[in-house]
Structures are given as structure tokens and as C-alpha cells.
Structure 1
Amino acid sequence: MIMNWLELFPENVKRLLLHLPKGVLERLEEVRIREDRPLEINAGGKFHFVSPDGELTQRPQEAYKPSREDGHRLLDLISNHSLYTMEEELRKGFITIPGGHRIGLTGRTVLSGGRVEHIRDISGFNVRIAKEIRGAADEILPYLLDIKRKRLFHTLIMSPPQHGKTTLVRDLARQVSSGLWGRSNVHWPGLKVGIVDERSEIAGCKRGVPGFDVGPRTDVLDGCPKAEGMMMMLRSMSPDVLIVDEIGRPEDAEAVIEALHAGISVIATAHGSSLQDMRGRPALAALVDNQMFEMYAVLTRSGDERSFRLHDSGQRTLQTTRGSRLDGDAFA
């Protein structure tokens, strides 16, 4: 089966990817293209180089080396031949395209007033392939339910990059909005969900319409800065649950506090592997120390297996799961 995201790639690279074993292709998470350097992939958390014959290898000298023409062609494809229209994305160092796929960029930065204005001479690409996994939230969702008050706990989900935070909150939105509650016995109706999707990864919107199933009662602010978007959602859409990805700036923390005081449930994600990591980030330390979140979930990963640890607001460990496989009923 040919995946739509394969059309992102220049013909030379697409041909090599199509030659990969089916199991590897279906588990592909990242494709790293570096001009005149080895083509590298991440499949199921395992990294390989790809030879000119489309074979996997651990020897970089045996790998296909994308040319400058490959890089230029890829840039044309992801920008729809209009790179100048993506100046804001270039300033941030990544482009998110329809489907929620995110392409990180490296090259020479151009500065203005000491800040990055945009990137030129782009020679490195990290294509992160977004996937929709129904049931990704089945195991964790019952622990996030406040049964007495018939609501969700304010929850911060933490993990290093590529551990599945975005895939998890995408399925949380779908289930909460649909009135599906994972492996619990509750039968509540669906709640109104608001997603602030600054990087366009959670919902994968195209012209404002979600490309992923985020549920029938979900509203999405696509491409909107998180802090401003949270306030817009509160004022205009009256959500029961607000979902936001990758908080970390002081203005994000302030907006989270405002939302918490507005009487809605907040589910946010952040980079980190422990509560101690959160305390090391000034913008988030106050949220943890003041017990603004009622539940913390730390995701861990080993290859294709995912696990999570849950802590309450007092930072006591409530639950630790065993690993669940990507192709099982857990998250990716």
C-alpha cells in the first residue's frame, strides 16, 4: 500500500523508501535527508541508513547520499513551489504540511536584530510522519477521569521527543469528544473539546479542516500561538476540555493558569522525562510547585513498546503500566 506521505519525497528518495520491507515502511517515523550525507530512517524507534538499492544498513559509507537536486526538489514539494509564502515557518525552523507531517529544517540562518529571521541554504530535512492510531488513549484515559465531578483532571503529559505525546492527545480529543472513555465503565456523553494546534500536528488541518479524526464536538484553532489561542478558545468557543501541545514559554504557563481558573479541564504536553525536568524549566516550575495540574503522565519508550507512569498533584506515583506495543492497544 502506498502512503500519501510518500508523495512528499523526490523521486530518487521515494523509490528507495518503496523498496523497504513492508513492515519497516509501515513503522516509519522519520526520514532524515542531509545533502551529500547518508540517508537515514527511524522505524519503530530504530535507526538505519538506506543503501542506493533500498537496503537497510548500519554502515553510513554504504548509504545513498541525497544530492542538492534532491534537497531542492523536496523543498519545492513541501512548499508547493512557493517558499516565500512560508517565511514564518522558516523562521521557526520547521514546516508542517497537510496531514500533520512536520519537516524540520537546517541550513544557514539569517539574523535580524540578533534574532533568526529565516533559514537559507537549506541542506538538512527531518520529515516526521504523523500517524493516527485509534485506541492510543484507551489505557491511560480511565485514570484521567474525575468520577465524582464528572470531568477530566487537569493533566500534564511529559516525555522526550518521539515518544508519542501528540498521537496520545489526538486520540484523547477523539474519545472525549465522542463520549468514548477508554477502558473505563463510565457512559458520559461527549464533551466539547478545544484544540490549540500551533504546529498543525494534532489535527493535521488543511484549510482549517482537520485531517485526523479528533471527534465530532472538537473545535481547532490551527497555526495559532498557544497562549493567544487558549484565550481565544475560552472567549469564543466555551470548551469543556482544552488541549494544547508542547507548552514551555512563560506566556504559555500564564494562559494555562487562566484556563484552569475558568473552570475547564486542561490537558497539555511538555518535553521532559520527569517532574524534576519540569522544575528545571522556569516557565513550568511554578505550575508544578503550585500544584496547578492534578495529574502528571510520564511516557517512556523502548523500541516499539510504550509505557506510562502517573503521578498525582502531590507527585505520588499512582500507576505504572507495562510496555504495550505500537500495533497493540497502546500509544505511539
Structure 2
Amino acid sequence: MNEILHILPDSIKHVVASIEGEVVERIEEIRIRINQPLEIVSGGRPIAPSSVNHRYMVTAEDGIQLMNKLSQYSLYAFEEEMRRGYITIKGGHRVGLAGKVITEKGQVKVIRDVSSFNIRIARQKIGISEPIAPILYNKKWLNTLIIGPPQAGKTTLLRDLARVASCGLSNKSINSSKVGIVDERSEIAGCIKGVPQHSLGPRVDVLDSCPKAEGIMMMIRSLSPEIIFVDEIGRTEDSAAILEALNAGVQMIMTAHGYDIENVLKRPSLRQLVEVDLFERYVVMDRSKGHHRIKRILDSNLNPINEIIKEQMLR
């Protein structure tokens, strides 16, 4: 939490630093809304921490201090990040922003008068993908779609799979591969000035803040990856780029929002990829009592694979 405490206004820092035990260990978000109670999300539950026996109310001064620290006292230097609606800080944590949106020719130019901040805590969970990695690998990585609702742990699992692909697992006969990551929202690698803040191994190239479709094509043309990782596919242009990558002989592991495979099939762009038998594995995830878990893994014919424990918790 040190990187988080460093950017918080002093008054909020003291409140957050006073939280102890399992609650602080499982903090996922710190939501700071001007003139509203401070909110901590821990283990999937919202908590309103107290200051001197009262719920802490966020002030306008808190917002100014936080914005100054996030932008290092230069909003102009962070205009591009603010246009996207978030700023990535040291440690790979991401701060979402909301406020008055300024547009130009129908496009978002910048967010002014920021009134809401959502600090999402990035916790790398090294090793969580290793039990299932052999199921997704057969002399090479198999094209895989990870499915789950928001905050089910899809990106956390994807990040660790990228690390395993880069490093290899000699004890499970998984060779090291050249890995490309197209990180449109800086969530997989958590780059600061292009440098990943997470441990991803020695053979990883990252295109940070790059749209997925364009990034996939850039990777193929210039970086010769053996496998590409992308988060939250779903647009028509994403599907076209994915098909191009596969035609170029590049394997892919990606995530998509959905509660089950049936939910994914309702989205035309994803249904197209399923119907052409693109995916060789489907990993279905959900969240139970604040824990991420893998519900099941399916093969290309959507049949369950029995090698996996029915429900594996990813704590």
C-alpha cells in the first residue's frame, strides 16, 4: 500500500493507514468523491471508514491535493491520461477519474473539475495460473478466451499467464515464448513511461495505452511475438485483428466480459470468433464471497475438461 499512501491527501492517508487486519489486505478500491463519505471496497464489500468516530467526508481540498499529487503538479503533462479517464501510478495501480468532460469535434479532449477518484489496487498474484497452465499448453500455447464478469480476476489471471509464457515452466514442460502484450488501458503490465510495473519475465514486449486492434497489427508487423495477450475484447475491429494474428501464426490469450459462454455468444463479434473454432480453450471465472475462482475450463467443442478441479479459488 506504500505507493497508494504516498499519493493520498494527508487526512485520507491517516484514515486508510488506520485500517488493519484482513480488511486492508483485501482492499481492491479506494473511492474518493468530493462531499461524499470516503469508501473502501475490500473483499467485494463497501466500507465507510471513520475518522474520530465519524464517517470521513471527502472535502474539495482533498480533491485538489490528490489531483496535484497524481499529476505531479502539472496537469498539462497528464492531459493525455486525463483524456482517457485514468492515470497509472507507480506499482501499476490505476486511478479512474470523473468530472466535467470537455469535448472537441465529438471526441473527449480532457476531464476538468475532477470530483470522483477510483483508486484500483493492482496486486500481482504470482503463480495463480500455474495449476491450469498445462491445460492451456500443448507444445505451444492454445488460443484461449478467459470469460468472467467485472472483478472476477480475469486480468490478474491473464497477467500471470503472460509471465508464465515469458519465463516458461520447466517442471511442467512449458517452454519460454516471445510474448507481446497490447495493454490498451495499462491494466495488464501497469506501465509507467513504457516500463512494466509488474513482474512479467524477460521476454515480454508491451504496447501501452494502445488500442487493441491497432496494437495487434503493430505487434505482428514489427515485434514477431509467438503469443499475444489482450484484455477485454469485444469490438468488431478487435475480431478482425485477432483473425489476422491467427492467420500469421500467432497464438492468442485474451479476456472478455461475460457470465458464461452463453452470454458471450450473444455478442455478434465474439460469436463470430467462436463459430470459426478460433478458441481451443475457454476459462470461465466468477466471484464468490469476495474470492476469484475458476468455475470450469472448456475445450474447443465447449465440453468441460476434467483435469481441472471443479472450482479453483484464486485468493
Q: TM-score, normalised by structure 1?
A: 0.88
1:267-278 matches, cutoff 5 A: 267-278=253-264
Q: CA deviation at 1:325?
A: 5.2
User: Unaligned stretches of 5+ in structure 1?
Assistant: 56-61, 327-332
When residues 276 and 116 of structure 1 are mapped into structure 2, their CA distance, relative to the original with a 3 A threshold, is farther
- Aligned Cα root-mean-square deviation (Å): 1.9
1:117 aligns with 2:103: no
Alignment correspondent of 2:250: 264
When residues 81 and 177 of structure 1 are mapped into structure 2, their CA distance, relative to the original with a 3 A threshold, is same
Q: Output one character per residue of 1:240-280: Cα deviation in whole Å (capped at 9) or x when no partner.
A: 11111122222211111111111121001112212222223
Alignment correspondent of 1:247: 233
Alignment correspondent of 2:221: 235
Kindly tell me the number of residue pairs found equivalent between the two proteins: 312
Q: Output one character per residue of 1:193-218: Cα deviation in whole Å (capped at 9) or x when no partner.
A: 11111222212222222221101111
1:29 aligns with 2:28: yes
Contact 2:3–2:90 (8 Å) recurs in 1? no
| Aligned equivalent of 2:118, options 111, 126, 130 | 126
1:216 aligns with 2:208: no
Q: Give the fraction of aligned pairs with identical amino acids, expressed as a percent.
A: 47
Contact 2:40–2:48 (8 Å) recurs in 1? yes
CA–CA distance in structure 2, aligned partners of residues 191 and 323 of structure 1 = 26
Alignment correspondent of 1:58: none
Q: Output one character per residue of 1:12-48: Cα deviation in whole Å (capped at 9) or x when no partner.
A: 1111010001332222110001111111111122221
When residues 222 and 114 of structure 1 are mapped into structure 2, their CA distance, relative to the original with a 3 A threshold, is closer
1:96 aligns with 2:88: yes
1:138 aligns with 2:137: no
User: Unaligned stretches of 5+ in structure 2?
Assistant: none
CA–CA distance in structure 1, aligned partners of residues 104 and 262 of structure 2 = 35
Q: TM-score, normalised by structure 2?
A: 0.92
CA–CA distance in structure 2, aligned partners of residues 92 and 224 of structure 1 = 11
1:168 aligns with 2:146: no
CA–CA distance in structure 2, aligned partners of residues 251 and 99 of structure 1 = 31
When residues 88 and 280 of structure 1 are mapped into structure 2, their CA distance, relative to the original with a 3 A threshold, is farther
CA–CA distance in structure 2, aligned partners of residues 23 and 16 of structure 1 = 16
Alignment correspondent of 2:304: 317
1:32-71 matches, cutoff 5 A: 32-53=31-52, 62-71=54-63
When residues 106 and 206 of structure 1 are mapped into structure 2, their CA distance, relative to the original with a 3 A threshold, is closer
CA–CA distance in structure 2, aligned partners of residues 82 and 249 of structure 1 = 34
Letter in 2 for 1:143: I
Q: CA deviation at 1:118?
A: 2.5
